Structure 1
Amino acid sequence: MSDIVMPQLGESVTEGTITRWFKQPGDAVQEDEPLFEVSTDKVDTEVPSPESGVLSQIIVQEGETVDVGTVLAVIGDGAAAPAAPADETPAPVEEAPAPAPAPEPAPAPAAPAPAPAPAPAPAPAPAPVAEGRLLSPLVRKLVEEHQLDVATIPGSGVGGRITREDVLDAIDARDGAGSAAAAPAFEPATPTNTWTSQPSAPASPAPSPSAAAPARPAARRAPSPAVAPVVPGSGDRVEQLNKIRLLTGAAMVASKQAAPHSITIVEVDYEGVEKVRRSVREEFIAEEGFSLTYLPFISRAVVDALHEFPHMNASMGDGSVILHDEVNLSIAVDLDYEGLLAPVVRSAHDKRLRAIARDIRDLATRARSKNLGPDDLAGGTFTLTNSGSFGTAIVIPIINQPQVSIMSTDGVSRRPVVVTDEFGGESIGIHSVGNLTLAWDHRAFDGAYAAAFMSRVKEILETRDWSTEL
Structure 2
Amino acid sequence: MARFELKLPKMGESVAEATITNWLKQVGDKIEMDEAVLEIATDKVDSEVPSEVSGILVEQLFNKDDLVQVGQTIAIIETEGGDVAVVKQEATPVAVAEVAKTVEAAKDSVAAPANFSDSEKFFSPLVKNIAKEEGVSVAELESIKGSGKDGRITKEDILNYIKNRGNQPAVAPIAIGTAPVVATQNVAPVAQKAAPVSVNGGDEIVEMDRMRKLISGYMVASVQTSAHVQSFIEVDVTNIVKWRNKVKDAFEKREGEKLTFTPIMMEAVAKALKDFPGMNISVDGDYIIKKKNINLGMAAALPNGNLIVPVIKNADQLNLVGMAKAVNDLGNRAKAGKLKPDDTQGGTYTVTNVGTFGSVFGTPIINQPQVGILALGAIRKVPAVIETPEGDFIGIRQKMFLSHSYDHRVVDGALGGSFVKRVADYLEAFDVNRDF
TM-score, normalising length: structure 2: 0.72
Structure 2: 5+ residue runs without aligned partners? 98-110, 117-127, 141-171, 183-189
Residue equivalent to 2:75: 73
Q: Give the C-alpha shift of residue 381 in structure 1.
A: 1.2
CA distance in 2, matches of 1:438, 1:145: 34
Q: Give the C-alpha shift of residue 299 in structure 1.
A: 0.5
Q: Give the C-alpha shift of residue 327 in structure 1.
A: 1.4
Residue equivalent to 1:316: 283
- Per the alignment, do residues 12 and 259 of structure 1 end up closer, same or farther by CA in structure 2, a change over 3 Å counting? farther
- Per the alignment, do residues 354 and 432 of structure 1 end up closer, same or farther by CA in structure 2, a change over 3 Å counting? same
- Per the alignment, do residues 271 and 261 of structure 1 end up closer, same or farther by CA in structure 2, a change over 3 Å counting? same
Residue equivalent to 2:132: 141
Residue equivalent to 1:225: 193
CA distance in 1, matches of 2:233, 2:112: 48
Q: Give the C-alpha shift of residue 16 in structure 1.
A: 1.5
Q: Give the C-alpha shift of residue 298 in structure 1.
A: 0.8
Residue equivalent to 2:366: 399
Superposed CA deviations along residues 149-201 of structure 1, whole A, max 9, x for unmatched, are: 9xxxxxxxxxxxxxxxxxxxxxxxxxxxxxxxxxxxx982537xxxxxxxxxx
Deviates more, 1:394-403 or 1:312-321: 312-321
1:447 to 377, 395, 413: 413
Determine if the alignment matches structure 1 residue 47 to structure 2 residue 38. Answer: no
Superposed CA deviations along residues 247-296 of structure 1, whole A, max 9, x for unmatched, are: 11111111111111111111111011111012113323434455432211
CA distance in 1, matches of 2:349, 2:115: 35
Give, as a single letter, the amino acid of the residue that structure 2 aligns with 1:414.
K
Query: Contact 1:329–1:383 at 8 Å: present in 2 too?
Result: yes
Determine if the alignment matches structure 1 residue 190 to structure 2 residue 176. Answer: yes
CA distance in 1, matches of 2:271, 2:113: 51
Residue equivalent to 1:17: 19
TM-score, normalising length: structure 1: 0.67
Alignment length, in residue pairs? 370
Query: Contact 2:8–2:49 at 8 Å: present in 1 too?
Result: no
Q: Give the C-alpha shift of residue 408 in structure 1.
A: 0.7
Residue equivalent to 1:6: 8
The alignment's C-alpha RMSD in Å is: 4.1
1:52-451 to structure 2, matched below 5 A, reads 57-74=59-76, 91-93=89-91, 95-97=92-94, 141-142=132-133, 144=135, 188-190=174-176, 224-226=192-194, 228-288=195-255, 291-421=258-388, 423=389, 425-451=391-417
CA distance in 1, matches of 2:241, 2:280: 28
Query: Contact 2:174–2:181 at 8 Å: present in 1 too?
Result: no
CA distance in 2, matches of 1:278, 1:57: 57
- Per the alignment, do residues 379 and 23 of structure 1 end up closer, same or farther by CA in structure 2, a change over 3 Å counting? farther
CA distance in 1, matches of 2:335, 2:373: 22
More helix by share: 1
Q: Give the C-alpha shift of residue 429 in structure 1.
A: 1.4
Residue equivalent to 1:204: none
CA distance in 1, matches of 2:410, 2:435: 33
Q: Give the C-alpha shift of residue 377 in structure 1.
A: 1.2
Q: Give the C-alpha shift of residue 401 in structure 1.
A: 0.8
Superposed CA deviations along residues 351-389 of structure 1, whole A, max 9, x for unmatched, are: 111221121111111111111111211111111111212
Q: Give the C-alpha shift of residue 243 in structure 1.
A: 2.5
Query: Contact 1:16–1:38 at 8 Å: present in 2 too?
Result: yes
Q: Give the C-alpha shift of residue 96 in structure 1.
A: 3.3
CA distance in 1, matches of 2:229, 2:318: 30
Query: Contact 1:56–1:79 at 8 Å: present in 2 too?
Result: no
Query: Contact 1:14–1:138 at 8 Å: present in 2 too?
Result: no
- Per the alignment, do residues 28 and 434 of structure 1 end up closer, same or farther by CA in structure 2, a change over 3 Å counting? closer
Q: Give the C-alpha shift of residue 416 in structure 1.
A: 1.1
Residue equivalent to 2:39: 37
Query: Contact 1:26–1:80 at 8 Å: present in 2 too?
Result: no
- Per the alignment, do residues 99 and 64 of structure 1 end up closer, same or farther by CA in structure 2, a change over 3 Å counting? closer
Superposed CA deviations along residues 38-93 of structure 1, whole A, max 9, x for unmatched, are: 222311222345678886643113443334444323467767999xx9xx97x523
Q: Secondary structure at the match of 2:212?
A: helix
- Per the alignment, do residues 261 and 121 of structure 1 end up closer, same or farther by CA in structure 2, a change over 3 Å counting? closer
- Per the alignment, do residues 298 and 98 of structure 1 end up closer, same or farther by CA in structure 2, a change over 3 Å counting? closer
CA distance in 2, matches of 1:56, 1:213: 51
CA distance in 2, matches of 1:466, 1:144: 56
Give, as a single letter, the amino acid of the residue that structure 2 aligns with 1:190.
I
CA distance in 2, matches of 1:450, 1:289: 37
> What is the identity percentage for the equivalent residue pairs of Structure 1 and Structure 2?
34
Query: Contact 1:36–1:48 at 8 Å: present in 2 too?
Result: yes
Q: Give the C-alpha shift of residue 428 in structure 1.
A: 1.3
- Per the alignment, do residues 448 and 77 of structure 1 end up closer, same or farther by CA in structure 2, a change over 3 Å counting? same
- Per the alignment, do residues 347 and 236 of structure 1 end up closer, same or farther by CA in structure 2, a change over 3 Å counting? same
- Per the alignment, do residues 379 and 122 of structure 1 end up closer, same or farther by CA in structure 2, a change over 3 Å counting? closer
Query: Contact 1:26–1:79 at 8 Å: present in 2 too?
Result: no
Query: Contact 1:55–1:79 at 8 Å: present in 2 too?
Result: no
CA distance in 1, matches of 2:315, 2:432: 17
Residue equivalent to 2:108: none
- Per the alignment, do residues 225 and 81 of structure 1 end up closer, same or farther by CA in structure 2, a change over 3 Å counting? farther
CA distance in 2, matches of 1:121, 1:234: 27
Query: Contact 2:114–2:191 at 8 Å: present in 1 too?
Result: no
Deviates more, 1:405-414 or 1:8-17: 8-17
Residue equivalent to 2:431: 465
Query: Contact 2:131–2:137 at 8 Å: present in 1 too?
Result: no
CA distance in 1, matches of 2:68, 2:409: 35
Query: Contact 1:330–1:382 at 8 Å: present in 2 too?
Result: yes
Q: Secondary structure at the match of 1:296?
A: helix
Residue equivalent to 1:179: none
- Per the alignment, do residues 319 and 189 of structure 1 end up closer, same or farther by CA in structure 2, a change over 3 Å counting? farther
CA distance in 1, matches of 2:416, 2:395: 30
Q: Give the C-alpha shift of residue 427 in structure 1.
A: 1.5
- Per the alignment, do residues 328 and 97 of structure 1 end up closer, same or farther by CA in structure 2, a change over 3 Å counting? closer
Query: Contact 2:19–2:67 at 8 Å: present in 1 too?
Result: yes
Q: Secondary structure at the match of 1:311?
A: helix
